[in-house]
Chains A and B, each alone.
Chain A
Amino acid sequence: MGVMRIGHISVKIMDMEAAINHYEKVLGMKTVHTDEAGNKYLKCWDEWDKYSLILQETDQAGLNHVAYKVEKESDLDELQQRIEAYGISTEMLPEGTMPFTGRLLKFNLPSGHEMRLFATKECVGTDVGSINPDPWPDDIRGSGVHWLDHCLLMCEMDPEKGVNKVEESTKFVMDVLEFKLAEQVLVGPEGNIQAATWLFRTSTPHDIAFVAGPRMGLHHFAFFLNGWSDVLKSADVMAKNKVKIDVPPTRHGITRGETIYFFDPSGNRNETFAGLGYLAQPDRPVVTWTEDQLWRGIFFHSGEESGSFTTAYT
């Protein structure tokens, strides 16, 4: 019961034509719907629900909301009570508020980011179908990403003012949404300041992550690839399309993922992320990265800060 996985992410972009070219040609998604307001809905080939990405053209970049799918409609009612009891106000958006989607439970994380939960979205099947399927479809474009995998939200952190929205948001999703903690970064003189967390509901190490920053924002959203050779091909696709790569192919110590960070044409950071990492289970010991090994955790090969990881986000 409860939250199953990330369902979709709605992001702001500044040039729809450029964004569609990026998400279709570079990532390999398909546009499945345009609503009356002109927002575009896209889907990856290995996803079975109708859409996982919504693009809204406006005058800035960044997150509108991130949505997670719960197992049953009744979960929405139960979670609404629990979230309200925790002291966070909610709104139940009626079916049809978003196309092809049932009711949505809308609220803000302690960090301020808008999260929505839903149980129902039109199931259209993967591009290989469910009867004697091929392992992959013939019309894959670009990186051919399988599915929207996770997002990382930057949360306000200022220890001198006693502000730590990483810790607050982590506690909320654990206590109320029953996310489990896979890995964390602990810093400070006492080694007790939770500066970053990776949490899961699936059996992979993270479905959501929170990292400390000077202001709240969207750090990145990631799409799944099978393995290292797919990551290399994805980097080739980016070079062919002159995509701005933030961090070229490498491995994360945290989650063990193989990765590329890059930017969409409006500056939203994307990641193509490969590997299932390890079997994440509620009883698996939490992995802790200490302050002196923090960057080894983030970029395992170099052990150093790379690109604009902590400075640039939308």
Chain B
Amino acid sequence: MFGLSAHQVAIPETGESFACKDKEALLAAMVKLGRKGIPVGCLNGGCGVCKVRVLRGEVQPTGPISRAHVSAEEEATRVTLACRATPTSDVALEILGKMKKSFLAQCGKPKAN
């Protein structure tokens, strides 16, 4: 790759991996590549659906994250929002954000067995 150096982002539980440039948020990189794995919400640190734990590697914050969704205690255990973190090395992530489908989202669709 030309320009900014890229880091590999791995999601061990799904086997997914994608590249993320310096200063680019983890979630933005995933969305841009059309990849899936991390739940996508507001992309601005407010809704909490992209909550992840950094299992390996280092990240830096790119902006504020909502304390309604990530407590200071959680943050101390390497929990953050993927929309507000950029990797400074190759990283591995555990998905914590719940794609908990609301009652409404389940409506009108076949029920899972």
Interface residues of A (CB under 8 A from B): 14-15, 59-62, 157-159, 185, 187, 195-196, 211-214, 244, 246, 263-269, 291-295, 305, 308, 310-314
Contact = CB atoms under 8 A, between A and B. Distances in A.
A308 B40 contact: yes
A266 B43 CA distance: 9
A167 to B, nearest CB: 12
Q: Which of B40, B47, B103 has the most CB of A within 10 A?
A: B103
Contact of A311 (B46, B65, B105): B105
B46 A60 contact: yes
Given A59-B67, A61-B68, A313 B47 contact: yes
B45 interface: yes
Nearest to B63: A15
B89 interface: no
Contacts of B41: 267, 308, 311-312
A2 to B, nearest CB: 30
Interface string B43-70: 1111101000000000000011111110
19 contacts: A14-B46, A15-B64, A60-B67, A61-B42, A61-B46, A185-B104, A195-B103, A196-B104, A246-B42, A263-B44, A266-B45, A266-B66, A267-B44, A267-B46, A291-B107, A311-B102, A312-B41, A312-B49, A314-B68
Contacts, number: 114
A299 to B, nearest CB: 13
Given A267-B45, A292-B108, A214 B100 contact: yes
A264 B101 contact: no
Contacts of A267: 41-47, 66
B37 interface: no
Contacts of A59: 64, 66-67
A293 B109 CA distance: 11
A310 B46 contact: no
Interface of B: 39-47, 49, 63-69, 99-105, 107-108
A57 to B, nearest CB: 10
Contacts of A15: 63-64
Contacts of A308: 40-42, 47, 49
Contacts of B43: 244, 263, 267
B47 A211 contact: no
Contacts of A196: 104
A294 B103 CA distance: 12
**A-B pairs with lowest CB-CB distance, top 5:** A267-B46, A312-B41, A267-B42, A61-B46, A14-B64
B40 A264 contact: no
B62 to A, nearest CB: 12
A288 B101 CA distance: 23
Contact of A294 (B47, B49, B108): B108
Contacts of B102: 157, 212-214, 310-311
Nearest to B47: A312
Contacts of B40: 308, 312
A206 B45 CA distance: 29
Contacts of A264: 44
Nearest to B64: A14
Given A195-B104, A267-B46, 12 more contacts: A14-B63, A14-B66, A15-B64, A61-B44, A61-B45, A157-B103, A159-B103, A196-B104, A213-B103, A263-B42, A267-B45, A310-B101
B42 A269 contact: yes
A196 B103 CA distance: 11
Nearest to B31: A244
Given A263-B43, A313-B47, A305 B105 contact: yes
A253 B104 CA distance: 16
B18 to A, nearest CB: 19
B44 A310 contact: no
